[in-house]
Chain A
Amino acid sequence: MTSEDRFPDMAQIDAELERLLGGGSPSAQAPAWFGDVAVLVRTARAPARPDELTGEADIVARMVELRLAVLAEAAIEDQTEAPAVGQDDPDEADAPATPRVNGHVNGVNGRVNGVNGHVNGTAPSAARTAAMDDRTGGSATGDTTTGGTATGGTTTGAGASGAEDSRKETTGRDTGGEERVAATAAREPGGPTAREPMESRLRERMSLAELDDYRAKHGGERYYVAKHSAPAAEEPPHAVARTVGRVIAMKAVAITTAAALGVAAAAAATTGIVANVVVPAFNDHFQHMVPTSESPDDEQKDDDGETGSGRSSRSASDIVTCQTQLAPCVPPDLNSVATDPLTGSTLVAPSTTAPDSTSTTVPDTTTTTSSTTTSTTEPAPTTTTPTTVAPDPQALSSSP
């Protein structure tokens, strides 16, 4: 017979199982195996055996140590995050001290330096500790609490290993809030003492006259205190590395800029050189390549009778042009010397050389040339120059 046959109601089954798993005895109508399971459950719930508590001392000691460390951290955090009450309001800052240590500070003395004055709300009350003592029959407070009993707002029996400065300030003042400040100051040398009276803080920073000026200028001390009470900005880590990095970056930028400028200047200079030097040179070169400016070598070759090359083969018009251009070089025909009808003097065509050059004419003859026979480079001034030097026909023929 199954359990479903015996317990048609599901709720009844659940109730029976609940009783069974809870260590209870099965009902009379339950199957036999319910009893066996009940025995197993009761056995599994048997009291502790000695071997199951073997590591008790070690584990409990570690637990106690851990708890005290956690409490100490909490106390430090409490004091670090000291409320800003009184920081802005001078009246509250100067108000009479209120007791900050409640009755019993335990478990922290001797373990945490300089923070034994304020473990608030986590310690059991004295009555509760006494009840614990009564129950356990031992002296619980004697084991775990050493000193640290606070009355009113004055902390006596400062921690055995507290910091010297902290101890002095703690014993020198009565306010619980200032105990926190002292502990904070001892922990953070040079840090802002947030709980000090505002007036003293202001006096530390400037004289009263300056303070009055500042108030008049900036409209009150609150802004000033907030500004100057802020902790100094921390030095960024790896300052040297950051400086070196900045220098390297600046140098890289400078080098890159210089290189870019140099390339641009070189390009501009090259363009200028090409435009001003190379292009005119090419132009001049190609101008000299026109037939009117044949090199004397070619003429010499032609004169030598070497007519095999292409350049030497000239057309008839070229030859005529050449002859017309060389006309000034040809010795003047004495028969065709013109005479100025007005003056009766002999007209001589200007030389193809410079005007100031030694133009030679026959003194007793006058050469007259038309404007068509003048050189193409110089405008032909129609000047009449009496020549006194006898012309040398060979020299004239050799001149271009």
Chain B
Amino acid sequence: MIKVPPTEATRELDFPTLLDAAIAGEQKALAEIFRAYQPRLLRYLRAQEPGMAEDLAADVWLAVARGLGRFRGDETGFRGWLFTIARHRLIEHRRRNARRRTELLSNDRMDGPIERGMGGDPAWLVLEQLGVQETVEMLVRGLPADQAEAVLLRVLGGFDVTEVARIMGRTPGSVRVMCHRALKRLAAKMSQEALAE
């Protein structure tokens, strides 16, 4: 039985049942799906477009709600569909942004936890929040765009090479090579940092 990723601390639900309920408009089913996939989706978007990640994620979920009735597939297929929509939204946003020539700042990531009133020390909240996101950014920092995207899809999306190739419109061999080069570059960078320390 296909399960929703257990690392998301969601209830281990039968995915087809959950999907059918979500298609019928059940609020709880839609909320379950949202909780299961939103964190990784948001990290993926933040790593690529920090200033607009929340808005893009909301657009993605609305697109999912619109097209959910036409979706056919299992949990992996749904995850691939979700990240494909996210990737398309990202590309559209970058096209618009390139036309507008607007530089968006990424302060939202810093200010978000404080503005949202999560309580506690703001500095600690920022550092804690940066922990995960900073880790993600460390993975892809300094990488070419296609290598960074391949790594993000593999790490955050949890896809195998074939799925990543399908989402990116590449061949599996090219995706494998991209991931390999990305890890080599990451290793070289970490070695340099280790030497510097």
Contacts and interface: CB of A to CB of B under 8 A. Distances in A.
Interface of A: 3, 13-14, 17-18, 20-23, 31, 33-34, 36-37, 40-41, 43-56, 59-64, 66-68, 70-71, 74, 106-107, 122-124, 128-129, 131-132, 135-136, 138, 140, 143-144
A56 B61 CA distance: 10
Contacts of A70: 65-66, 68-69
Contacts of B191: 33
Contact of A131 (B17, B128, B156, B176): B17
Given A40-B135, A56-B38, A63 B61 contact: yes
B179 A17 contact: yes
16 contacts: A17-B183, A21-B183, A22-B158, A45-B155, A45-B156, A47-B39, A48-B9, A53-B39, A63-B65, A64-B30, A67-B25, A107-B25, A132-B17, A136-B28, A140-B21, A144-B25
A66 B113 contact: no
A180 to B, nearest CB: 20
**Which 4 pairs from chain A and chain B are nearest by CB?**
A48-B39, A67-B25, A63-B65, A43-B135
Contacts of B42: 52
Interface in B16-61: 17, 20-32, 34-35, 38-40, 42-43, 54, 58, 61
B154 interface: yes
Given A45-B155, A48-B9, A122-B24, A60 B135 contact: no
Nearest to A43: B135
A202 B178 CA distance: 72
Interface in B141-197: 151, 154-156, 158, 160-161, 176, 179-180, 183-184, 186-187, 190-191
B3 interface: no
B28 A138 contact: yes
A129 B154 CA distance: 34
B82 interface: no
Size category of the B interface is: 35 or more
Contacts of B9: 47-48
B116 A66 contact: no
Main secondary structure of the interface of B (DSSP, over half): helix
A51 B112 contact: yes
A334 to B, nearest CB: 126
B8 to A, nearest CB: 6
Contact of A60 (B7, B31, B40, B180): B31
Contact of A48 (B8, B136, B186): B8
Given A45-B155, A60-B30, 18 more contacts: A17-B179, A37-B186, A41-B155, A44-B136, A48-B35, A50-B118, A51-B129, A52-B39, A55-B58, A59-B62, A63-B62, A67-B30, A70-B68, A70-B69, A106-B24, A107-B24, A124-B24, A128-B21
A54 B55 CA distance: 12
Contact of A71 (B24, B40, B43, B176): B24
Nearest to B113: A51
Specify which of A44, A56, A59, A143 lies most central, judged by the most chain B CB atoms within 10 Å of its CB: A44
A76 to B, nearest CB: 14
Contacts of B68: 67, 70
Contact of A144 (B27, B64, B136): B27
A48 B38 contact: yes
B21 A62 contact: no
A111 to B, nearest CB: 10
Specify which of B61, B64, B158 lies most central, judged by the most chain A CB atoms within 10 Å of its CB: B61
B24 A123 contact: yes
B23 A122 contact: yes
B21 A21 contact: no
A120 to B, nearest CB: 12
Contacts of A71: 24-25, 69
B127 interface: no
Nearest to B47: A44
Nearest to A48: B39
A23 to B, nearest CB: 8
Given A14-B176, A48-B39, A37 B24 contact: no
Contacts of B35: 48, 53, 56
Contacts of B30: 60, 63-64, 67
Contact of B28 (A14, A54, A132): A132
A21 B151 contact: yes
Nearest to A33: B187
Contact of A21 (B22, B66, B116, B154): B154
Contacts of B88: none
A53 B129 CA distance: 13
Contact of B39 (A13, A49, A60, A131): A49
B65 A124 contact: no
B20 A53 contact: no
Contacts of A48: 8-9, 35, 38-39
Given A14-B176, A44-B139, A52-B38, A128 B20 contact: yes
Contacts of A41: 139, 155
Given A36-B190, A51-B113, A56-B38, A124 B62 contact: no
